[in-house]
Structures are given as C-alpha cells and as structure tokens.
Amino acid sequence: MKILILGAGGMIGRKLTAALLRKGELTGRPIQAMTLADVVETDVPASSVALRAVAADLSAPGVAAELVAERPDIVFHLAAIVSGEAEADFEKGYRINLDGTRELFEAVRREHAASGYQPRLVFTSSVAVFGQPLPPVVPETQVLAPLSSYGTQKAIGELLLADYSRRGFMDGIGIRLPTIVIRPGKPNKAASGFFSGILREPLAGLPATLPVGDEVRHWFASPRRAVEFVLKAAEVDTSGLGVRRTLDMPGLSATVGEAIEALRRAGGEEAVALIQREPDDAVKRIIESWPEAFDPQRALALGFEADASFDEIIRRHLEDEVAGNGKRA
C-alpha cells in the first residue's frame, strides 16, 4: 500500500500522517510507503514505513505528474490556502486551490490512460461551497452557491472530482469538513480562525479577539474527528455514492455563546475575561454566508460520527494538545 498526502505539512496533514503510522494499515493492507508533499519542508517522523518528504507547489507544471507517477493506492488531497487568504489574494487562491487540483486530477487521468491506474482519491472540501439564502438546516440536496472565492474554488473541485470519477479515472470521494476547532498552534488567515482563537488562547492564558456576536451559529468538528473523517473516507464503500461524490460531514451546530459557556466550564471566568470583542464586518459577512447546521444523512448512514458537544471538543483539545504536548493525532 502506497499513500500520497498532499498538504502534509498542515494541521490535518500532520495528524493524518501520525494516525496512519499508528494504524499501520488501510483497507486491510499494510502501509509500505508514504509520500508527504507540501509547499514547505515537512518533518519526516521516525518509522518503519518508507517515508519521503517532497517540498513543491502542486500547481507548478510537472509536480503532480511526478508525484502520481509513483502510483499511490490512496491520494489524500488536503492542499489548499484558507478562506481569508483566498479572498484577499484572488490569483493565489485560484492558482493553489483550483489549478493545483486540476493538475492533480489531470495527472491521474493521464496515468489511467497509460496503465489503467485508478486510485482512491480523498478530497477535503468545505461548507463554504454553500451560500445564502440557506435554510436553518441544510439538506443533502442543497444547491452549491458559494459567496467567497474559497467556496467557489472548492465547489469547482467537487464538480471535477465527480466528473473524473464518473469517467472512471479515479475513485474519488469528497468530504465537506465543518469548521475545525480547536486548531492547535498559531492563528492562521482563515476567516473562521477566531472560532479556535477564542478558546485556544484563553485556555493558555492569552487574550483573544472575537469579531462577531454571541448569536452567530456555525457547524464544528474537532481536529481528532476531522482526521477520523479523512481516514474513513479512504476506506468507505463508494459504490452507493453515484454521481454525488461529495458528502456533508456530521458536525456540531452551536453558537459562539455556547462555545464561550463551554470555555467558562473548562477554564473559569478568568478565561472568558480574556476574550476581547472587536466587531469586524468583513469577517461577519463571510461567516454569515456559511451554513449553520446540516442533515448529513448519507454520511451518517456510512458510519461517520460527529462530536457530541463543545465540552467534548475542549476536552479533546486539552488531551491532545496540552496534556499530550500535541503528540497525539
């Protein structure tokens, strides 16, 4: 079993790598080799599995072809720039999030034409593919109508995934990840980054900025649960997906206020007092265009599961990133 992880240097990529090395197999087959690719140098952990790190831009000519030439059995396509950065830098967003995806899919198609190669390809999408107006609970049949460049780029990726799978070039499955909280490390440029910041920083005794009101409701999953989604997508039976190759992942629908109350239970009043309210209309417009809750029937039927509560999300963060020093995925 050969595995290729694109975006291996990101948070989910690092945790996925660690989880795969602990697991040692996928689809019942032992993992023999893994290629960890990202635009930045990726650390290679000690392992009996043959690991190779590649620092390269997926959107650059020839990079995807070189990686796919190894014929990995499973490709995890996690590589992307985040929502806020894609909105701020139009050209970079389309180059990385769209051109890079198309380069990858085309490399797979050409390898398929030459040898019949057909990998399982897991594509991480986003709830940002939807836009207003939306019902309070988004059904499986909701039309894609993104209101951000990032959401548009992910929506196009979903359509390409479905078409290349329909044509038999790959066995693709897309998963629309909820907003991941609590993300470890430093804040990133995602418009949704404050959802993690208002919990992560106060739990560490640091101030955090809240740009929206307590009433804002959103769809969440913990990093641990997100890695479980990605792993399960690599192994699930795709024969029943038909032409609709992308699934809404189960999540926790909660308000900012409910997240803050969970913080209060975990860290006390002193933690909550570290949240500084600084309204930001640009962030608010992006967040309010995204869904608040889903009815992910297909994913639930396939065995995907959500976090139970924000208390559980915070507990997992403390276990994985504080008590465990970030060593557990």
Quickly count: other Cβ atoms within 10 Å of residue 245's Cβ.
Answer: 22
Low-confidence residues of the chain: pLDDT under 70: 324-329
Predicted local distance difference test score (pLDDT) of residue 328? 41
3-state SS assignment for residue 56: coil
Predicted local distance difference test score (pLDDT) of residue 225? 97
Predicted local distance difference test score (pLDDT) of residue 185? 86
The single-letter DSSP state of residue 127 is G
Taking every pair of Cα atoms in the chain, the longest distance, rounded to a whole number of angstroms, is 63
Domains plus CATH for the chain? 2-323 (3.40.50.720)
Terminal C-alpha separation, the chain: 21
CB 18 within 8 A of CB 49: no
Q: What is the chain's mean pLDDT, rounded?
A: 94
Beta-ladder partners of 172: 121
* Rounded Cα–Cα distance for residues 115 and 111 (Å): 6
CB 27 within 8 A of CB 236: no
Which residues have a catalytic role annotated? Answer: 150
Predicted local distance difference test score (pLDDT) of residue 142? 95
Residue 193: which H helix or E strand, with range?
helix 193-203
CB 191 within 8 A of CB 87: yes
Residues composing the chain = 329
Query: Which among 11, 25, 219, 239 has a CA at the least distance from the CA of 126?
Result: 219
Q: Which amino acid is at 86?
A: A
Quickly count: other Cβ atoms within 10 Å of residue 4's Cβ.
Answer: 25
* Rounded Cα–Cα distance for residues 20 and 35 (Å): 12
Which residue is it, tokens 């009815």? 295
The single-letter DSSP state of residue 294 is B
